[in-house]
Structure 1
Amino acid sequence: MKRKAIMLVGMLSAGTAAFAQSAPKDSLQYVALEEVQIVSTRATSKTPVAFTDVNKEQINKQNFGLDIPFLLTSTPSVLTTSDAGSGVGYTSIRVRGTDATRINITTNGIPMNDAESHSIYWVNTPDIASSLEDMQIQRGAGTSTNGAGAFGASINMRTQGIPSKAYAEVSGSYGSFNTNKETFKVGTGLLHNHWAFDARVSNIQSDGYRDRATSDLKSYFLQGGYYGENTSVKLITFGGKEQTYHAWDGISKDMLKTNRRYNPNGKIKEGNEDAEDAKTIGFYDDQMDNYRQTHYQLLVNHTFSPEWNMNVALHYTDGYGYYQEYKNGRTLKEYGLTPYTIEGVTYKKSNLVRQKLVESDFGGGVFSFNYRTNRLDASVGGGLNYYTNDHYGKVLWVKNYIGDLAADHEYYRNTGRKTDGNIYAKANYDLGSGVNLYADMQYRYIKYKINGNNDKWDFREGYDKLQRLDINEDFNFFNPKAGLFWQINRSNSAYASFGVAQKEPSRNNYTDGGFTKFPKPEKMFDYELGYTYRGKCFTAGANLYYMDYTDQLVLNGRLNEIGEPMAENVKDSYRMGLELTAGAKITPWLRWDVNATWSKNRIKNYVEYVSDYNESWDELYTQTARELGTTPIAFSPSFMAGSLISFSHKGWEASFQSQYVSRQYLDNAGVKENSLDAYFVSHLHAGYTFNVPYTKGVTVGATVYNIFNKKYETNGYSQTAAVYETDAEGNKVGNATIYNDPRYYPMAGTNVLFNIALKF
């Protein structure tokens, strides 16, 4: 793997040098970020979609150690979660209730979502925010983009541009839970009118709010660029290495009252017990997730004429990692191990330590040809990417095991391969009288294969072996979009749009689904209607949306052949809502921005499957289907609102940020017992910049998160069962009692981060 990475860097460097030798000479005026990045996937002020831009200054004012999702909480319809409860480590984002597997993420137009899981793990690229120029969040189907299907939102990140002058910056943060962040940045500025280089290294560590929810994150960013009169070339590499203790399991409602910081992961139970009530005698120290991810990007821009330009990018991502965990009372044959006998007693189960490993390679290219005149802005672009992912597992140790256990005993292995290609054409044409017509068409092709043994044991009669994966799927998606933008006058504008988005199932939809029946792809029709007012001191906007889904994949409680929860397609579901934004410049040094979202998110004709458990046997029995009619979609609050009051005057800056989120259901049944309570949380930041000789300024500050010490939870999951009374023969008697036992991920109470930054 290292050899492949070294070869790639060499190839990219050679390509950069070749471009440099043949490029025309001069001049400073062409040093601009847009010239070396794919920007055709971005919305502009006249694109009829709902979007929010977050610039570098806004990012830097919040970037003291928390992950990117927490830097976006002041934008409309955004929710964040944190397993560790502190915003460091495993975090995630939802937009309009859309989860991370349905949000397209790109950096410089290059896909960032994992091609199989469709998620992005921010922990793999720690402190990437320190190397960003800006971000754009598009809500709804948005514009055509590369990579994973944007099935409700997309986030387009751009890495920093090349400043014309040399600089250096050192910054650090320290606060609650031993959270600390250290970042060093340096740049050469423009050398000999053509060359420039930048570098960053970062370290982030935290004990986490929850017990043992530690994070140890390292990252870097390097870029070098050549800038000619008509051609610009930039080579970028960035990556991260993370080690986090598992905080993947939630806690009960009773535990929230007695010990909110409790983390059940890593439990070592007495004996070889996997029963819930078995005595816990300690916690496993190495219950860790370890991953390394390295990105390489070669970005080339060429300007043919004032109207025509071209962007091309080649990319490669190398990933390797594993998580290690202690498992109690595991069935040995599931791990390729034979039962063992001690003093005449045969043991078919035992406690053990296992590793699950993944090694991935992702590479390809994206491009766009762009044409712009006074009335027409058009692009033709696309990309072709290939992904391969090896999944395998090892058993490192078995308690009291008597038998042959080879070092690094491997018990399963499978490989996922994915080819993802797309091509799009889009145009925004000025019809006159302030009216622009927008059209956007994309064709996307996906070929996905998984071959090998899964880590799940197939207990069905006649099988009794690891689940065999033999998946070979092809998808062809046509995603058209169209809209009108009307600049009514200098201050008022409106737009209307329609878009189609389609998405293939994720790896988990296959591996955790039925063994003989595969899920279908999902489709969404997105209708948007918006209005914006921009005055000298006041801005306001409103956006109506209706997202109509066909075959959306949801967890409905149904189990697959071995009794594990799986996602199924539901025929009809929708999200509809109203997003409002407003901002007022009260004085030259005081501003207030607010946003709110009212929404209705529903599944039609929903059927829930509840597992029946016999209390005396404590084992899976059967399932009961419940026709619930129209129900709310999980993790989709009906109302949320945000407020940001910001102050800046004579070196002082301060902000007061608040967010309210209404009740969220943990599943699709709409039962209050399985829900997250509404919460209102606020954060306060204050800082001052000193003028210090031989520097560009020294800034010190502090942020108090959850200043009112609100006890709240942003994530969780339901555990629902139907319990029947039984007669002496074990037959069911009477109606079932529905038993709800949800789990929650608590967020930290009041906590503080102090920060300092020196710029040179």
Structure 2
Amino acid sequence: MKNTFLFVALLVLSVSALAQNNEKQQDSTKTEALDEVLVKAVRVNATSPITHSNVSKKELAKRNLGQDIPVLLNYLPSVVTTTDAGAGVGYTGIRVRGINAQSTNVTINGIPYNDAESLGTFWVNLGDFASSVESLQLQRGVGTSTNGSGAFGASINVLTDAVSSESNGEISNAFGSYNTRKHTVKFSTGLINDHIEIAGRLSNITSDGYIDRAETDLKSYFLQGSYVDDNTLIKAITFGGKEVTYQAWNGIDAETLEDNRTFNPSGAYTDADGNPQFYDNEVDNYNQDHYQLHWNQRYNNRWSTNLGLNYTYGRGYFEQYKEDEDFADYDLTPIEIGDETVSTTDLIRRRWLDNDFYVINASANYKNNEVNLFFGTSYSIYDGDHFGEIIWAEFASDSEIRDRYYEGNGKKSDWSLFTKATYRINDKVSLYGDLQLRLVGYETSGLTSDRLPFNVDENYSFFNPKAGITYKVNSNNSLYFSYARANREPNRSDFENNATVKPEQLNDFELGWRHNTQKFRLNVNGYYMLYNEQLVLTGQIDTTGDPVRANSGDSYRLGLEVDAAVALTDKFSVQPNFTISSNKNKETFESVNGELLDLGKTDISFSPEFIAANALVFQPREGFQMSLLSKYVGEQFMGNTENPDSKLESYFINDFNITYEWQPKSIFKSVIFSGLVNNIFNEKYVSNGYFGSFDFEDSDSPTGISTGYFAGFYPQATTNFLVGVTLKF
């Protein structure tokens, strides 16, 4: 409640102070430009030597029927997406160039969104956030310097809704397979007295999921108050949500995948009569609230500044039913019942996170006909508590209500200084330079969830230079080359799995050609990403379903990306893209049957050599569009040893999307009908999984040890659909 009052106070104070200014006639083009200042410091423009894709609100809206943002980005170059529940709602993930989400930097209005400790991005905490996105930019490779954790394969820069000069409202409802439902209400007052706007959104998304019991209930909100004049934009924004998601992160083995691909082992236990049961509340339950204040000021045609403040409050738990747990693992004392000593029990536990995240961003921009210069700083502090509770036990021993069987804390500070500039030498050549100093401190105390002491005290100093050149051949063609250096710290799980884990380094080389005419657009980009101690996915997962990573020594990613858009006629267009790549660990060792083997050069996990997508778009008239969307992902390994049992087979899926906008003469400004059929050819495919090994004693083995392997798979939904109606007024 106190945070709500803080937000309202900031909004009132900001508006009251600036309302004293002389009233001026509002210029909508200037308002739009001021909105974009929120992300100018972390975005690049069309002529920059940085590989990127832009996605507008209009493009997101066509398929925004309840699925998460990673799924909506599935058809961009080099992108592979996955979802635990199988149908794009709930826990979803995105990989770019084979690099996992923990290495993708995400900012919202320039504010870091990645979790400071895990470095992951949990879109499930922001249900229906796509409905409040004005635009986003996906940069591939290191990209430009940004705020928060370093980008090691991609960065996603999100800009939320722009100020609307006119009042409007919107009611949107969608329904689909697996009892999926999306309900959204939006409003904007428009500019009151040409200066003040209040806008907001409420949403609820529910789904049973393709996987058994993988239910999702996402409640979310977005509220902003804005003050604008010709040269000033102040926004006070709050957004967040509550998610309750039945766990589906355990995956299934190969045999179950063949016989019962929707089976979910989460929550399984055996009752007193020996009958298999499933605990009904094996859920992830989390709340996250964000409070942002942005002040953008334009002083003249050359100088502008941006100040951003953020507070994020996250808290929640995941709940599990556990059988035959040892008392010692929960700091419980064995008890005597009659003549029997009891030292195990069935129980229900909750593992909690309770964290606060503070950010301040400040940047300035100077530009003239030759130079566009940015310089700025970002400072953040994270303070997170980790603890576990037993909420029920068959034998409670000497425990008390709300006892914590483990407690730990993590603190992280992140300070970044950067300056970046584009210098136009002449009409054909421009130079780009970017320097960043990043100072990171991470400290932990207490116990892990396995009740092991966990004490980390690390400080890192990273210098990340970047440079590039763009050559404009003519009005339709340009060439670019860039080099970028990036460094990145390990996350909390990396330290838990290996106390001596090292930070990773990357040298990224990008060479591209852009061709752009009215009816034909072509982007060709070659990249060479050279890593030292890259933290790659081992294929295994931890007890919370998070992927386990390890340093891989020297490795590289070499690839070619091509994306195009061709207007074949006034009504028909195609938008293909593909990526061909080689992703290698230069030297890999594995312990097999008690012997250390040198496997030489191996494929990096979760890095397919070929990814392709295409959109066939038919627009017979204004407001009516049909699209056939296709995606191919080549085979990939879930580990780094090229073990055949760790292979995910290639898959080719197709979706069909249709939108129709009707503009009645009264009541509503427009009525938009949308439909989406996913996986229209009923492909049974798997987009994600895990793989690991274990050693066991074997008297028949020459070394007395044999190695076994295990694999888990996350099957994705077969043919399914979503339909929706949006009323705008």
Report the TM-score when normalising by structure 1.
Answer: 0.92
Question: Offset of 1:24 from its aligned partner?
Answer: 4.3
Q: What one-letter code is carried by the residue in structure 2 that aligns with 1:702?
A: G
SS at match of 2:130: helix
CA distance in 2: counterparts of 1:662 and 1:280, whole angstroms: 41
2:373 is aligned with 1:378 = yes
> Measured at CA, do residues 567 and 398 of structure 1 come closer, stay the same or move farther in structure 2, by a change above 3 Å?
same
Residue of structure 2 equivalent to 1:669: 641
> Measured at CA, do residues 33 and 234 of structure 1 come closer, stay the same or move farther in structure 2, by a change above 3 Å?
farther
Q: 1:9 aligns with which of 3, 7, 10?
A: 7
Is the CA contact (8 Å cut-off) linking 1:719 and 1:743 kept in structure 2?
no
Question: Offset of 1:11 from its aligned partner?
Answer: 4.7
CA distance in 2: counterparts of 1:235 and 1:557, whole angstroms: 42
> Measured at CA, do residues 143 and 555 of structure 1 come closer, stay the same or move farther in structure 2, by a change above 3 Å?
closer
Residue of structure 2 equivalent to 1:487: 472
SS at match of 1:210: coil
2:715 is aligned with 1:743 = no
2:175 is aligned with 1:180 = no
Q: 2:667 aligns with which of 694, 704, 710?
A: 694
> Measured at CA, do residues 624 and 655 of structure 1 come closer, stay the same or move farther in structure 2, by a change above 3 Å?
same
Question: Offset of 1:472 from its aligned partner?
Answer: 1.2
Question: Offset of 1:44 from its aligned partner?
Answer: 0.6
User: Which shows bigger deviation, 446-455 or 688-697?
Assistant: 688-697
Is the CA contact (8 Å cut-off) linking 2:24 and 2:230 kept in structure 1?
yes
> Measured at CA, do residues 696 and 6 of structure 1 come closer, stay the same or move farther in structure 2, by a change above 3 Å?
closer
SS at match of 2:447: strand
Residue of structure 2 equivalent to 1:285: 280
Q: What one-letter code is carried by the residue in structure 2 that aligns with 1:378?
A: L
2:583 is aligned with 1:601 = yes
Residue of structure 2 equivalent to 1:136: 137
2:501 is aligned with 1:519 = yes
Q: 1:252-306 CA distances to partner (integer Å, 9 max, x unpaired)?
A: 111111111000000113569xxxxxx6620001101101101111111111111
Q: What one-letter code is carried by the residue in structure 2 that aligns with 1:336?
A: D
SS at match of 1:62: coil
What is the root-mean-square deviation of aligned Cα atoms in Å?
A: 2.0
Q: Name stretches of at least 5 consecutive residues in structure 1 with no aligned partner.
A: 273-278, 457-465, 613-622
Q: What one-letter code is carried by the residue in structure 1 that aligns with 2:268?
A: K
Residue of structure 1 equivalent to 2:459: 474
Question: Offset of 1:164 from its aligned partner?
Answer: 1.1
> Measured at CA, do residues 438 and 652 of structure 1 come closer, stay the same or move farther in structure 2, by a change above 3 Å?
same
> Measured at CA, do residues 558 and 663 of structure 1 come closer, stay the same or move farther in structure 2, by a change above 3 Å?
closer
Residue of structure 1 equivalent to 2:486: 501
Residue of structure 1 equivalent to 2:567: 585
Is the CA contact (8 Å cut-off) linking 1:38 and 1:367 kept in structure 2?
no
Residue of structure 2 equivalent to 1:31: 31
2:401 is aligned with 1:416 = no
Is the CA contact (8 Å cut-off) linking 1:33 and 1:161 kept in structure 2?
no
Is the CA contact (8 Å cut-off) linking 2:170 and 2:187 kept in structure 1?
yes
Question: Offset of 1:347 from its aligned partner?
Answer: 3.0
CA distance in 2: counterparts of 1:340 and 1:267, whole angstroms: 27
Correspondence list, 1:144-293, <5 A = 144-269=145-270, 281-293=276-288
CA distance in 1: counterparts of 2:62 and 2:111, whole angstroms: 26
Q: Name stretches of at least 5 consecutive residues in structure 2 with no aligned partner.
A: none
Question: Offset of 1:38 from its aligned partner?
Answer: 3.4
Is the CA contact (8 Å cut-off) linking 1:724 and 1:736 kept in structure 2?
yes
Residue of structure 2 equivalent to 1:462: none
Q: Percent identity?
A: 39
Residue of structure 1 equivalent to 2:52: 51
Residue of structure 2 equivalent to 1:405: 399
CA distance in 2: counterparts of 1:286 and 1:124, whole angstroms: 19
Residue of structure 2 equivalent to 1:678: 650
Is the CA contact (8 Å cut-off) linking 1:23 and 1:231 kept in structure 2?
no
Report the TM-score when normalising by structure 2.
Answer: 0.96
CA distance in 2: counterparts of 1:346 and 1:143, whole angstroms: 62
Question: Offset of 1:624 from its aligned partner?
Answer: 4.7
Q: What one-letter code is carried by the residue in structure 2 that aligns with 1:698?
A: V
Residue of structure 2 equivalent to 1:712: 685
Question: Offset of 1:115 from its aligned partner?
Answer: 0.3
CA distance in 1: counterparts of 2:462 and 2:359, whole angstroms: 20
2:563 is aligned with 1:549 = no
CA distance in 2: counterparts of 1:542 and 1:166, whole angstroms: 42
Residue of structure 1 equivalent to 2:103: 102
2:94 is aligned with 1:93 = yes
Q: What one-letter code is carried by the residue in structure 2 that aligns with 1:640?
A: I
Question: Offset of 1:168 from its aligned partner?
Answer: 0.8
2:714 is aligned with 1:752 = no
> Measured at CA, do residues 64 and 558 of structure 1 come closer, stay the same or move farther in structure 2, by a change above 3 Å?
closer
Q: 2:612 aligns with which of 621, 629, 641?
A: 641
CA distance in 1: counterparts of 2:539 and 2:658, whole angstroms: 47
CA distance in 1: counterparts of 2:16 and 2:414, whole angstroms: 29
> Measured at CA, do residues 210 and 557 of structure 1 come closer, stay the same or move farther in structure 2, by a change above 3 Å?
closer
Q: 1:640-668 CA distances to partner (integer Å, 9 max, x unpaired)?
A: 10001122233321111000000010110
Residue of structure 2 equivalent to 1:461: none
User: Which shows bigger deviation, 63-72 or 7-16?
Assistant: 7-16
Q: What one-letter code is carried by the residue in structure 1 that aligns with 2:626?
A: A
CA distance in 1: counterparts of 2:224 and 2:687, whole angstroms: 37
Q: 1:473-531 CA distances to partner (integer Å, 9 max, x unpaired)?
A: 111000000000111101111100000011011011112224xxx31111100000000
Question: Offset of 1:631 from its aligned partner?
Answer: 0.6
Q: What one-letter code is carried by the residue in structure 1 that aligns with 2:197?
A: A
Is the CA contact (8 Å cut-off) linking 2:488 and 2:503 kept in structure 1?
yes
CA distance in 2: counterparts of 1:367 and 1:147, whole angstroms: 13
Q: 1:576 aligns with which of 558, 573, 582?
A: 558
User: Which shows bigger deviation, 551-560 or 27-36?
Assistant: 551-560
